Amino acid sequence: MNRTASLLAAALVFSCGCSRGAPQAPALSPGDEAAWNRVVAALQQVSEEYREALELKDPPVVERRLSQLATLLDEASALLARIGTPRAADVDAQVKGIRRRIAGIDYRLGEDTRAIVDRILQVIPVRRAPEKKPDLANGKRLFAEACAACHGADGTGPPPEVAKRFDPPPPDILHPDFNWSPYEMFNRLTYGGIETAMPSFEEGLSPQERWDIVFHLFAERWPPCTKPLPKLGSDRLAALGDFELGNEFGYGAASCLRRDFLAPGK
Ligand code: HEC
């Protein structure tokens, strides 16, 4: 087995979760799963946007942005209280710790918030992957229908005359500033922006349609695949940013892995 194939085999065993002795987390009720997913999405958004907020020029604008992020943390706390398990209470204590720090300048806040997300995802079986293999052509079609008017025909941002109608304007989502995983971007379009023009698509698009769009965007940013690699399951792809894919499978591997993949769990 060459190196890539053995890495891949190791990765598949790891992601399967079905190896002997692997602890089986009890399934969540649909309501609790939705609540945990919303908590994760809120914390992801805070960890990404806190530093960006500090970089804004105008102090009242910074203050408003930080108070929006604080509201997001309060919403997470309310959901955790509703879940009501000891684990949720423990996470809530951590969220409240971040909440107390958010009004000041704290360069570790983003990292610490992200660490809470990682800890949640290690123990709570939140679905982070599509149920079926995403359909890139359908994603492209849906993007044109639901997103292009604001994000531009190819996702790189609208023409200036459209951009200036929004504050903040719709960014380039083909080449985002963050190393998103598809799951994180999926969450972002599920829940939308906080007090921005970015709508929530929780009702407007089915989960599979949202995955189709996200997988389309992640494939589209890369040049065509020239050196095909052993394919990954779409559940594994959903959890990995392009940075992690590059680290694991070599620079540029994403151009092939994002275009040609297997159904989830394969
Ligand atoms: C009515 C205009 C509008 C529509 C329609 C829209 N967006 Fe947005 N989107 C925005 C604006 C404005 C922002 C910037 C504010 C924010 O981040 O909340 C944004 C932000 C985003 C972000 C976060 C980008 C970042 O780097 O932080 C993602 C991802 C995104 N949009 C994806 C989509 C997708 C996918 C669709 C289609 C399903 C879509 N948007 C439809 C206006 C829109």
- DSSP per residue over 41-97, as a string? HHHHHHHHHHHHHHT-S-HHHHHHHHHHHHHHHHHHHHHHHHH--HHHHHHHHHHHH
Nearest to residue 259, comparing CAs of 227, 230, 216?
216
Distance in angstroms (rounded) separating the CA atoms of residues 86 and 240 = 29
Q: Which numbered atom of ligand 1 lies nearest the CA of 214? A: 35
Distance in angstroms (rounded) separating the CA atoms of residues 50 and 104 = 11
Residue pair 259/133 in contact by the 8 Å Cβ criterion: no
Pick the CATH number of 136-257 from 1.20.1250, 2.30.280, 1.10.760, 3.40.50: 1.10.760
Tell me, rounded to whole angstroms, the distance of Cα 88 from its chain centroid: 21
pLDDT at 25: 63
Q: Which residues pair with 233 in a beta bridge?
A: 262
Which residue's CA lies nearest to atom 10 of ligand 1? 198
φ, ψ for residue 160, nearest 5 deg: -55, -35
Please choose from 68, 150, 183 the residue to mutate so as to test ligand 1's pocket, defined by most ligand atoms within 8 A of CB.
150
pLDDT, tens digit (0-9, with 9 covering 90-100), for 196-246? 899 999 999 999 999 999 999 999 999 999 989 999 999 999 999 999 999
φ, ψ for residue 258, nearest 5 deg: -80, -15
CB contact set of 137 (below 8 Å; sequence gap of 6+): none
How is the chain split into domains, by residue range? 30-123, 136-257
Centre of ligand 1 to C-alpha 25, Å, is 34
pLDDT, tens digit (0-9, with 9 covering 90-100), for 132-147? 999 999 999 999 999 9
Centre of ligand 1 to C-alpha 257, Å, is 25
Mean pLDDT, the chain, whole residue set: 90
User: Does the pTM exceed 0.85?
Assistant: yes
Which residue's CA lies nearest to atom 13 of ligand 1? 170
